[in-house]
Chain A
Amino acid sequence: MADAKKPRAAFAPWDRRELPGSFTVEETAKRVGHYKWVEMRLFEALGGWVPTVPELDVKMRLGTHTYHHAWHADLWNKRLPELREMNPERLTAPANDHIVEFFEAMTEPEAPEQTIEKLVGVYRVLIPAKIAAYTYHLNNTSTITDAPTIRSIKFILHDEYEDWTNGEMLLQSLIETDDEIERAAAQQIRLEKILLKAGGIVGPGSLGGESQASAETVGAPA
Chain B
Amino acid sequence: MKKHNDVTSLARDSRFERLSLEDQFSDPRNAVMVGRTGGTGMRRRLDPARPGSPDRARSLMHGIFTGEIQALEGAGRTCFDFEVGTGDDEVPFELKLDMARQCWDEARHCEISVKLGEWMGTEIGEFAETTVLFEAACNPDPVLRLTGVNRALEGLAIDVFNTMREFGAETGDPLLHFCEDWMLADEVTHVKMGSDWLRRLTEKDPERRSRALEFQRVVDKLFSGAGFRGEEEDSTIRLARRFRELAGFSTDEIDEISELSRQSRDEARARIAQRALTEAS
A80 CB, min distance to chain B CBs, angstroms: 12
Once bound together, how far apart are the Cα atoms of A54 and B124, in whole Å?
Answer: 14
Could you tell me the distance between the alpha carbons of A18 and B110 in the complex, rounded to whole angstroms? 47
Closest B residue to A110 by beta carbon equals: B1
Would B96 and A44 count as touching, CB distance under 8 A? Answer: yes
Residue B185 at the A interface, CB < 8 A? no
Could you say which interface size class chain A belongs to?
Answer: 35 or more
Bound complex: CA of A59 vs CA of B101, how far in Å?
Answer: 15
Q: Is A70 an interface residue (CB 8 A)?
A: yes
The answer on a CB contact under 8 Å between B10 and A66 is no
Give Cα A56 to B110, complex, Å.
9
- Report B83 CB to chain A, min CB distance, Å: 9
A108, CB-defined interface residue at 8 Å = yes
B11 and A54: CB pair below 8 A? Answer: yes
Flag if B111 contacts A51 (CB, 8 Å).
Answer: no
Q: Which of A45, A52, A60, A71 contacts B72 (CB 8 A)?
A: A60
Most buried by A among B78, B84, B97, B110: B97
Taking a contact as CB atoms closer than 8 A, the residue among A47, A52, A62 that contacts B99 in the complex is: A47
Task: Check if A74 is an interface residue, CB within 8 A of chain B.
Answer: yes
What are 9 A-B pairs with beta-carbon distances under 8 A?
Answer: A40-B96, A44-B96, A48-B79, A54-B11, A56-B69, A59-B73, A63-B76, A63-B104, A67-B101
Binding site for A on B (CB under 8 A): 1-2, 5, 9-13, 69, 72-73, 75-81, 84, 93, 96-97, 99-101, 103-104, 106-108, 110-111, 114, 124, 134
Chain A residues packing against B (C-beta within 8 Å): 40, 43-56, 59-64, 66-67, 69-71, 73-74, 77, 89, 107-110, 112
Kindly report which residue of chain A lies nearest to residue B71, judged by CB atoms: A63
Q: Which residue of A lies closest to B13 (CB)?
A: A54
Query: Given A40, A52, A63, A108, which contacts B103 in the complex, CB threshold below 8 Å?
Result: A63
- Given A63-B72, A70-B101, A47 contacting B79 (CB threshold 8 A): yes
Q: Decide: A50 near B76, CB < 8 A? Known: A55-B13, A77-B93, A107-B1.
A: yes
Chain A residues whose C-beta falls within 8 Å of the C-beta of B5 in the assembled complex: 51-52
A54–B107 Cα distance when bound, in Å, is: 14
Question: Which of A45, A67, A107 has the most chain B CB within a 10 Å cutoff?
Answer: A67
Q: Give Cα distance in the complex from A54 to B15, angstroms.
A: 11
Give chain B's interface secondary structure class: helix
Kindly report which residue of chain A lies nearest to residue B137, judged by CB atoms. A51
A63 to B72, CA, bound (A): 7
Q: Select one of A66, A77, A89 contacting B79, CB under 8 A.
A: A66
Given A59-B72, A70-B100: A48 and B81 interface contact (C-beta under 8 Å): yes
Interchain nearest-CB distance for B68 vs A (Å):
9
With A60-B111, A108-B1 known as contacts, the answer to whether A50 contacts B77 (CB < 8 A) is yes
CB nearest neighbor in A for B85: A89
Instruction: Return the chain B residue nearest A41 by Cβ.
Output: B80
Q: Give complex CA distance A74, B111 in Å.
A: 26
Please measure, in the bound complex, the distance between the C-alpha atom of A109 and the C-alpha atom of B2, giving whole angstroms: 10
What distance in Å separates the Cβ of A158 from its nearest Cβ neighbour in chain B?
A: 16
A60, closest chain B residue (CB): B107
B13 close to A48 (CB less than 8 A): no
With A63-B107, A64-B103, A67-B101 as contacts: A50 and B73 at CB distance below 8 Å: yes
Interchain CB contact (< 8 A) of A51 among B9, B13, B96, B124: B9
User: With contacts A63-B107, A107-B1, A110-B2 known, is A45 near B80, CB below 8 A?
Assistant: yes
Given A48-B77, A48-B79, A59-B69, the answer on whether A70 and B97 have CB atoms closer than 8 Å is yes
Closest to A51 in B: B73
In the complex, chain A residues whose CB is within 8 Å of the CB of B12: 54
A69 to B99, CA, bound (A): 12
| Residue of B with least CB distance to A106 | B1
